[in-house]
C-alpha cells in the first residue's frame, strides 16, 4: 500500500520550492513495512487538507512554533505523533533506538527539522506518558526512554504480568558486578548463580536460557557490557554495567538491593557505600539538558 504523495507540487504557501527541491523523492523511498501498513495520510492532510496558512503560531497550544516553512500545523502534529508512537513501541523491546532508524522509518523528508521534531516528541513523551527520552551515551545517536514514574509493586498485578521476571536475574548480576568492584569475570558470575540453581547450560523454568539472557539479551539492551579478556585460555569474558543501567538505576539503588537480600544495611559495605554516595553526588549536579541530538 503506497503512501499517497504528500505535499508534492502543492502550493501551501510561500517558498516550498526550496524544501521540495532539497528533499526530492528519495527520502521517502526507504520506508519499509511499518510505513506500508501505516499510510499516515489516510485521514491525514493528504488531499483533503488544502493549503492552509502555514503560520506556525497556530491556535494549537500544544506545539511550540518551530519555524517550518510550508508544512501545516496538522502535518507537523501528525509527524510528532508518529514519532512518539514509534519511540514508545520500539522502547517496549528495550532495545535502544538508533537515530538512523528514526530518520528512516518516521522522519523521512522532514529531516530538516529532525531535532525540532525530536524535541517536540520528547516533550509529549514526558508530559503525556511520563517517559524521558535520553541519549544512551553522549554522541551515541541512540536513545532510550526512562520511566519517570517509580515502579510500584502493585503495578505487577494490575498489569497482569507481562512484566519481566528476568529483571530479578538482572538485578542479581548488576549487584554482583558492583560489589566486586564494577567488573567481574563470567566464570565468577556462573559460580555464584549455580548456587541459586541457575546454570549456563540448563534451561531454567523462569528465565529460560540464562546464558543467552545474560550474555546476549541484557547486552543488546545495553544493561551489561560483555568483553573478552585477552590472553585467557580457556577464553574468559568480563562483565560491567552498560550505559542503560546507569540511566535507569544507580549504585546506591543496587547497593540497597544487595543489602536487602542479605538482610543488612548498605553501610555494612563501607567501600561500596562510599562509592555509591559519590555517585549520588555526581547525579545531583545539574546535567546537560535535553535529548536533542548531539550534532
Partner 1 sequence: MQGSARRMGVMTDVHRRFLQLLMTHGVLEERDVKRMQKHCYKVHDRNATVDKLEDFINNINSVLESLYIEIKRGVTEDDGRPIYALVNLATTSVSKMATDFAENELDLFRKALELIIDSESGFASSTNILNLVDQLKGKKMKKKEAEQVLQKFVQNKWLIEKEGEFTLHGRAILEMEQYIRETYPDAVKICNICHSLLIQGQSCETCGIRMHLPCVAKYFRLNAEPRCPHCNDYWPHEIPEVFDPEKEREPGISKSNRKSLRSRRH
Asked if residue 33 binds partner 1 (CB under 8 A), the reply is yes
Question: Which of 68, 80, 136, 177 contacts partner 1 by CB under 8 A?
Answer: 80
Asked if residue 47 binds partner 1 (CB under 8 A), the reply is no
Minimum distance of partner 1 from residue 27's CB (angstroms)? 18
Asked if residue 71 binds partner 1 (CB under 8 A), the reply is no
* β-strand partners of 208: 204
Cis peptide before 234 (omega within 30 of 0): yes
- Going by their DSSP bridges, the two strands 131-135 and 224-229 should be labelled as unpaired
Separation between Cα atoms, residue 82 and residue 40, nearest integer Å: 8
Residue partners of 56: CB distance under 8 A and separation at least 6:
65, 66, 67, 68, 73
Minimum distance of partner 1 from residue 68's CB (angstroms)? 16
Identify which of residues 101 and 275 has a Cβ nearer to partner 1 in the complex.
Answer: 101
Q: Long-range contacts of range 245-252, CB-CB < 8 Å, 24 or more positions apart?
A: 245/174, 247/134, 247/136, 247/144, 247/146, 248/146, 249/174, 250/276, 250/279, 250/280, 250/283, 251/178, 251/275, 251/276, 251/279, 251/280, 252/276, 252/277, 252/279, 252/280
Site string for partner 1, 88-127 (x = CB under 8 A): xxx-xx------------------------------x--x
Asked if residue 273 binds partner 1 (CB under 8 A), the reply is no
Cell of 65: 512554533
Question: Which of 152, 205, 271, 284 contacts partner 1 by CB under 8 A?
Answer: 152
Question: Which of 43, 139, 195, 231 contacts partner 1 by CB under 8 A?
Answer: 43
Query: Of the ranges 4-12, 70-78, 212-220, 287-295, which one interacts with partner 1 (CB under 8 A)?
Result: 70-78
DSSP assignment letter at 267: G
Q: How many residues sit close enough to partner 1 to count as binding (CB under 8 A)?
A: 42
Question: Which of 17, 55, 85, 182 contacts partner 1 by CB under 8 A?
Answer: 85
Identify which of residues 50 and 270 has a Cβ nearer to partner 1 in the complex.
Answer: 50
Identify which of residues 127 and 199 has a Cβ nearer to partner 1 in the complex.
Answer: 127
Asked if residue 281 binds partner 1 (CB under 8 A), the reply is no
Minimum distance of partner 1 from residue 162's CB (angstroms)? 6
Strand boundaries in 130-205, DSSP class E = 131-135, 142-147, 184-185
Cα angle 196, 200, 203; round to 5: 85
Tell me if 124 sits within 8 A of 78, measured CB to CB. Answer: no
Separation between Cα atoms, residue 46 and residue 5, nearest integer Å: 7
Question: Which of 8, 159, 195, 285 contacts partner 1 by CB under 8 A?
Answer: 159
Binding site for partner 1 (CB under 8 A): 1, 33-34, 37-40, 42-44, 59-63, 74, 77-78, 80-82, 84-85, 88-90, 92-93, 124, 127-130, 147, 149, 152, 154-155, 158-160, 162
Amino acid at each position: 500500500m503506497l503512501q499517497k504523495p504528500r505535499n508534492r507540487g502543492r502550493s501551501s504557501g510561500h517558498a516550498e520550492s526550496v524544501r521540495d527541491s532539497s528533499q526530492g523523492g528519495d527520502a521517502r523511498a526507504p520506508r519499509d513495512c511499518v510505513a506500508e501498513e501505516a499510510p499516515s495520510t489516510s485521514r491525514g492532510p493528504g488531499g483533503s487538507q488544502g493549503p492552509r496558512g502555514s503560520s506556525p503560531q497556530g491556535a494549537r497550544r500544544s506545539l511550540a512554533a518551530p519555524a517550518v516553512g510550508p508544512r501545516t500545523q496538522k502535518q507537523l502534529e501528525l509527524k510528532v505523533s508518529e514519532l512518539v508512537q514509534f519511540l514508545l513501541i520500539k522502547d517496549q523491546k528495550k532495545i535502544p533506538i538508533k537515530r538512523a532508524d528514526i530518520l528512516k522509518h518516521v522522519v523521512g523528508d522532514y529531516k530538516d527539522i529532525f531535532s525540532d521534531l525530536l524535541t517536540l516528541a520528547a516533550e509529549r513523551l514526558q508530559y503525556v506518558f511520563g517517559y524521558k527520552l535520553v541519549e544512551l551515551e553522549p554522541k551515541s545517536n541512540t536513545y532510550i526512554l526512562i520511566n519517570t514514574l517509580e515502579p510500584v509493586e502493585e503495578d505487577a498485578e494490575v498489569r497482569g504480568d507481562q512484566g519481566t521476571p528476568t529483571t530479578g536475574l538482572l538485578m542479581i548480576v548488576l549487584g554482583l558486578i558492583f560489589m566486586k568492584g564494577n567488573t567481574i569475570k563470567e566464570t565468577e558470575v556462573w559460580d555464584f548463580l549455580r548456587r541459586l540453581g541457575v546454570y549456563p547450560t540448563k534451561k531454567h523454568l523462569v528465565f529460560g536460557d540464562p546464558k543467552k539472557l545474560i550474555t546476549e539479551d541484557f547486552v543488546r539492551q545495553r544493561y551489561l557490557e560483555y568483553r573478552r579478556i585477552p590472553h585467557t585460555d580457556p577464553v574468559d569474558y568480563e562483565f560491567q554495567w552498560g550505559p542503560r543501567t546507569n540511566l535507569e538505576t544507580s549504585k546506591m539503588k543496587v547497593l540497597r538491593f544487595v543489602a536487602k537480600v542479605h538482610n543488612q544495611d548498605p553501610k555494612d559495605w563501607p567501600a561500596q557505600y562510599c562509592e555509591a554516595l559519590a555517585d549520588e553526588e555526581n547525579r545531583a549536579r545539574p546535567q546537560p539538558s535535553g535529548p536533542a541530538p548531539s550534532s
